[in-house]
Structure 1
């Protein structure tokens, strides 16, 4: 498994199968746009299959705060430590920021606590009609 922050050589066809269980998932082309538009990202690439199998993104003001909106590992690659590695690498990328925030469902909070994050309360708005991104 190769981990990279670079998008060099990453093509939409390498991003198939993500956004599992989303009713209106972004296309692979939009997914690549999301990765390009992120402040930083870390990808897990299965070099044998030339496939991105996991990714995490961050958006930031570049000074004080960063937010981690997306983390996903393809179902066939889960439970192999890839998600943990992606989070750890992202936290390393963002270690100079004061705030690193992430929102997740309640059932995922123990996972992130094991990775050093602290449970806090938050609020959000979801515009599901824009879920596909385009």
Structure 2
């Protein structure tokens, strides 16, 4: 996958976001218009492209000095295991290298990946949420 291009942009089409989010079966993909708006509001959005096909992205929020929170990291299943997710994480770690912490919530099947990228599990925190996105 040497032809992957990485971009630092915030403007995306609804169809490309819907396709990517649905490819990993994330319920956010059912709301492509909201995703278009959300991407404009993130502090950090790095995306991976194979030609004009959006194949991966990472989105983060931060407080400007201490803490960054990775909200989304997703890679199209057809493009997984080729270093795309790792490259997106590395780009994000580089941007926030002077911050005190980068946080994320990992699903169980992603824990080993995030650990291989330098993240560790918290012994005293638990992810919690309120959502209206369940379909």
1:43–1:56 contact (8 Å) kept in structure 2:
yes
Aligned length: 129
Q: Residue in 2 aligned with 1:34? A: 38
More helix by share: 2
Greater CA drift, 60-69 or 116-125:
116-125
Q: Matches of 1:110 and 1:85 in 2, distance apart?
A: 16
Alignment match, 2:6: 3
TM-score when normalising by structure 1: 0.83
Which structure ranks higher in relative contact order (CA pairs < 8 Å, sequence separation ≥ 6)?
A: 1
Q: Which runs of 5+ in 1 are unaligned?
A: none
* Structure 2 residue 29 is matched with structure 1 residue 25: yes
Instruction: State the alpha-carbon separation in 2 of the partners of residues 73 and 28 from structure 1.
Output: 17
* TM value normalised by structure 2: 0.83
Q: Give the root-mean-square deviation of aligned CA atoms.
A: 2.0
- For structure 2, the residue ranges without an aligned partner over 5 or more in a row are none
Give structure 1 regions of 4+ aligned residues with deviation exceeding 6 angstroms.
Answer: none
